[in-house]
A and B are shown apart, each in its own frame.
Chain A
Amino acid sequence: MNMKHNPANLSLNEAQKDILKEIGNIGAGHAASSLSHLLNKTISMNVPNVHFAPFEEIMELSGGAERIVASVFLRFSGDVNGNMFFVLPVDQATRFVRALVAEDFSFANPPYPEIALSAYQEIGNILAGSYLSALSDFLNIRIAPSVPEVAIDMFGAIISFGLLEISRVADYAIAIDAEIKDHEANDQNESIKGHFFLLPDPESLQYIFSLLGEQLQ
């Protein structure tokens, strides 16, 4: 019954994957150093992963569809269009926001104070801004972000919003996934890892590759 559709024009060769990895490296690298300045602590970033995967696998990134996360979402448009998500485990988002606003709250216990939500939205705004401006410098293109929105909810419910546009042409998505980590939290587990997800619209992928001399096959 389930017919996964992956049209021939949506595939990635190694060189294209490397281009997308580099985009993640440059963009998320800048964003991670902005975060590090903002919070005055060391934030490290792993080499980004490029996921070319069916939707249900994308839904499972970042610890599973049902996992509660604090997210900032925005759309970017211009020469390249797509969706960007900044996703943190709720505990980590709480720690980061508490470092900025002297408020006793937790993203694990709603309702959340307005100031905490705005602070988190602003963190997202700064990070997405530095990700996208690094990208726009690297590719020499124009990209404008929308106003970011915050949602604290199940990861699947959030990321699926970023799959809508691509779902009109495929059952697969390409997500550039950069993982960040707070250095002071020395534990390796998933609960302290944050992610930047960049999901370019399908047409924009072709444009990115053509800019960098790689034609989609």
Chain B
Amino acid sequence: MNDTRTIINVGIADMKIAKAPDCLRTSGLGSCVGVVLYDLKKELAGLAHIMLPDSTLARNQTQNLAKYADTAIPALLDELKKEGSPSWTLQAKIAGGAQMFKTISSSDLMRIGPRNVEAVKRILQQYDIPIVAEDVGGNNGRTIIFDPQTGELSIRTVNKGVSII
């Protein structure tokens, strides 16, 4: 391991990019989805922690792009392109989208975890970005760390320990 390696934390409804040897991390994913787009050759990656599937759910105009699947993914693609990785060089790994609570939710926000996952997959497909690995659904929280150097996404859950996809 490199001594100068830093772990860049991505908050909820936020997105960041990192170059090896730095890693990207987001913690406490519940119904939210962590979307990693990465270029293994350039060892460059971006991570968005999205909360909602679709920006039409917003009830105001000014938007935080990182909050919605349909705006976060294009925004992340732009950022990565600026750094020299156009969309055709990218692959995706995704995690999250759990259903933490089964019965409770207001009608609009029903099944938000699975809906977030469906939206992310649909949008990635629109941009022809292959999903190489995923750990989605279920009813447990996740903390994820992505290493742009190896392309490994490590996922920590409460009951199942750490797994790498």
Contacts and interface: CB of A to CB of B under 8 A. Distances in A.
Interface stretch (A19-27, A92-100, A152-160, A205-213): A152-160
A155 B140 CA distance: 11
Interface in A133-178: 146-147, 149, 151-158, 160-161, 163-165, 167-171
A123 B143 CA distance: 29
A55 interface: yes
Interface in A1-17: 1-5, 7
Nearest to A68: B158
Contacts, number: 129
A160 B142 CA distance: 12
Interface of B: 11-16, 27-32, 51-52, 57-60, 62-67, 75, 79, 98, 100-106, 109, 112, 139-143, 156, 158-159
A56 B14 contact: yes
Given A59-B28, A65-B28, A2 B15 contact: yes
B164 to A, nearest CB: 18
A3 B29 contact: no
**Secondary structure call for the B interface:** loop
Interface residues on A, range: 35 or more
A160 B51 contact: yes
B13 A158 contact: no
A127 interface: no
A208 to B, nearest CB: 18
